[in-house]
Structure 1
Amino acid sequence: MFSSRLSLRIPPVICLGLIRSAAGLERRTYLMTTMKVFRCPGRHGYAVEASPFLPNRLACAASQYYGITGSGSLFVLDQTETGIVLVRSWQWGDGLFDVAWSEANEHVLVAGGGDGSLQLWDSANQNAPLKVAKEHTQEVYSVDWSQTRAENLIASGSWDRSVKVWDQNLGASLATLRGHEGVVYSSIWSPHIPGCIASASGDGTLRVWDVKAAACRLAVPAHKAEILSCDWCKYDQNLVATGSVDCSVCVWDLRNVTQPVNQLLGHSYAIRRVKFSPFSRTVLASCSYDFTVRFWDFGRRLPLLDTVEHHSEFVCGLDFNLHIPHQVVDCSWDETVKIYSPSCLTAAS
């Protein structure tokens, strides 16, 4: 188990990063408002998501022993004027790799685990999962809750190369989407089109799925290396971003995929997650195994807005706060969750 997880979770070109020390990194300077930090000793952050309902609430999925072996933890956190406080935490028998809030209930969230399970949790009054579903035969690396009206569904992406669709109660899966030839690292609902999912895989493709037909409508050879993340633009149903082991972020117009709208270069190791801003069509963020978070405006001639380096290990989780403009939350293998507002975003507002 140890060797297989290490080889899949950390692509070979990235393994060198495990032996890099923070002291050996090129240092960059940047300005931001006060940063708030939550420390979770012995737990290495994999994913973080801000609540769609509560401005100061967020959730973090973390794993013991860097997610290679051991158990996992799910944290519900609130930011206060002075810092970040723990609201509730749960332990799981295997690593947890992603988390998503319900779009219909402010207390409910779903997490994906290394044992192939999805767990439904209630932050208000439950000490155990509301429900556990285990149809995937390998690790669940991605979970996402649909955002379009008249739809209340969950998508999960797994190392078993499939994407599954579930109802809000995690009953038997409603659909299984097959076609990827590698690990599915990311599966994201379109915020615009009902029943539409984008997925990114170790096979180097970005795929767009029609859930009702359980069919792939578009397969884009987006990178010549593993793709670890994808995200939809919040303002344009045709724009999707991908982040890859090749250290690039590509922005794609799904109406013409012969070449990307823009290729964003600057990271020195694999890009673990990409996120579009909820406040600007052309602004997005990326986090990487190079210990940095970078902010981009792909509408500019020089798209890199800023490089934030405040972690001493891989940065795996990243999200924008929907309620507080330009506030960002991230988490890292260095056992911290951080909330901050980069000056490059606040200055442009």
Structure 2
Amino acid sequence: MASAMLEFRTPGYNPYAVKYSPYYDSRIAVSAAANYGIVGNGRLFILGLGPAGIQLEKGYDTNDALYDLAWSEINENQLVVASGDGSVKLYDLVTSGDFPVMNFVEHKREAFSWSPSRPTSIKTFPVGTCTYSACFSPHNPNLISCVSSDSNIRIYDLRSPVSAKYHLTTVIPAHAPPVTPVGVLAALANGQTYAGAVPSEILTHDWNKYRDTVVAAAGVDRLVRTFDIRNPTGGPLSILMGHEYAVRRLAWSPHASDVLASASYDMTVRVWSDGSAAMPPAPSQPPVIQLGQQLGLMNRHAEFVTGVDWCLFGSGGWLASAGWDQRVLVFDAHTLLPPVL
């Protein structure tokens, strides 16, 4: 596995997020912060993968920590970063200079999505609690989701009427017990039937790239859960167990409907199957919580792993990870899988 590992160091900066370009399999962006993001400035790294390994293509320094980033899906040279001062900064890689081409300031603290075509936010959704992750559905531009410290997954539908709920259409209590316990898998760590969990902060979530109603979420309680937004109170579809500390980032594979990767404070990246491919749901049967299978583990980081992302191209196995050990690693997930006997 060591021979498949590429590495880039970010001296003086602790990465918080890593994202492959949706246009090039050889370009990666990393947002990072000095002093673990507690105090100090930030830096955006644009990295290129080539015969010589991972090389720095461009770097941008900021006055505050950078906690997240996203590539544009309409311009191959643009990306946005979320800053600790509440701003969202838009960078263009082909422009001269070291400064963002636009700077949006509306949030009071760390921030998420924007449109570069206007100077103010398109919509504002009051959540009422600390929000750690927000994203659009890859299947429907009208659906926006977020997860937060109150243990809920929220779905906003822009097609719904503006009301007191600000387009909020679905709330999934991630740690609630399933409504129908019949057939629930009874093989969690202590062998007891799953009956929910103590509500805790959800730090990350992601939409399945193939199943348009399936969302995965994870956080402080170390478990990864998948849900069907059509049944918000029915409990999880599957539970993925194995991480020893909080899960900081999730990413569904763009190559397989049942595979996802997770990054954790236990210093590992894990690749999972949620069990859906092996056991498709039967409409006439009561819902069953599947126990997902860990397919592989990468433990080459020496600090919290805060970012993980899949490459959209190639054979379907390349992953990039970033952690507080000031390292970005690129590896083939196939090398994590156990040998076929």
TM range (shorter): 0.7 to 0.9
Matched residue type, 1:272: R
Name which of structure 1's ranges 168-177 and 224-233 shifts more when overlaid on structure 2: 168-177
2:25 pairs with 1:55: yes
Report the CA distance between 1:136 and its aligned residue: 0.3
Name which of structure 1's ranges 338-347 and 202-211 shifts more when overlaid on structure 2: 338-347
2:260 pairs with 1:246: no
Q: 1:170 to 1:319 in 2, by over 3 A?
A: farther
2:143 pairs with 1:191: no
Q: 1:302 to 1:252 in 2, by over 3 A?
A: closer
1:233 equivalent in structure 2: 208
Matching residue within 218, 235, 240 for 2:170: 218
Report the CA distance between 1:57 and its aligned residue: 0.4
Matched residue type, 1:312: A
**8 Å Cα contact 1:187-1:200 kept in structure 2:** yes
Matching residue within 114, 121, 126 for 1:173: 121
RMSD of aligned alpha carbons = 1.7
Q: 1:173 to 1:302 in 2, by over 3 A?
A: closer
2:286 pairs with 1:311: no
2:239 equivalent in structure 1: 263
2:100 equivalent in structure 1: 129
Report the CA distance between 1:81 and its aligned residue: 2.1
- Percent of aligned pairs with the same residue? 38
Matched residue type, 1:133: F
Report the CA distance between 1:125 and its aligned residue: 2.0
Matching residue within 203, 206, 219 for 2:153: 206
2:260 equivalent in structure 1: 284
Matched residue type, 1:125: T
Matched residue type, 2:255: F
1:39-74 alpha-carbon deviations (Å, 9 max, x no partner): 110100000100001110010000000001100000
- Aligned to 1:65, what secondary structure does the other structure show? helix
- Aligned to 1:137, what secondary structure does the other structure show? coil
Q: 1:256 to 1:83 in 2, by over 3 A?
A: same
Report the CA distance between 1:82 and its aligned residue: 3.0
**8 Å Cα contact 1:33-1:340 kept in structure 2:** no
2:322 equivalent in structure 1: 331
State how far apart, in whole Å, the 2-side matches of 1:283 and 1:33 are: 24
Matched residue type, 2:105: K
Q: 1:39 to 1:170 in 2, by over 3 A?
A: farther
Name which of structure 1's ranges 59-68 and 215-224 shifts more when overlaid on structure 2: 215-224
State how far apart, in whole Å, the 2-side matches of 1:88 and 1:211 are: 37
State how far apart, in whole Å, the 1-side matches of 2:158 and 2:322 are: 31
State how far apart, in whole Å, the 1-side matches of 2:240 and 2:221 are: 11
Report the CA distance between 1:80 and its aligned residue: 0.8
TM-score using structure 2 length:
0.83
1:240-263 alpha-carbon deviations (Å, 9 max, x no partner): 000110001000011123110101
Report the CA distance between 1:346 and its aligned residue: 10
2:181 equivalent in structure 1: none
State how far apart, in whole Å, the 1-side matches of 2:244 and 2:318 are: 25
State how far apart, in whole Å, the 2-side matches of 1:297 and 1:347 are: 16
**8 Å Cα contact 1:250-1:263 kept in structure 2:** yes
The total of aligned residue pairs comes to 294
State how far apart, in whole Å, the 1-side matches of 2:294 and 2:154 are: 27
Q: 1:69 to 1:262 in 2, by over 3 A?
A: same
Report the CA distance between 1:33 and its aligned residue: 5.1
State how far apart, in whole Å, the 2-side matches of 1:107 and 1:56 are: 13
Name which of structure 1's ranges 124-133 and 31-40 shifts more when overlaid on structure 2: 31-40
Q: 1:133 to 1:292 in 2, by over 3 A?
A: same
Matched residue type, 1:210: D
Report the CA distance between 1:138 and its aligned residue: 1.3
Q: 1:45 to 1:226 in 2, by over 3 A?
A: same
Report the CA distance between 1:198 and its aligned residue: 1.0
Structure 1: gaps spanning 5 or more residues: 1-30, 144-154, 156-165
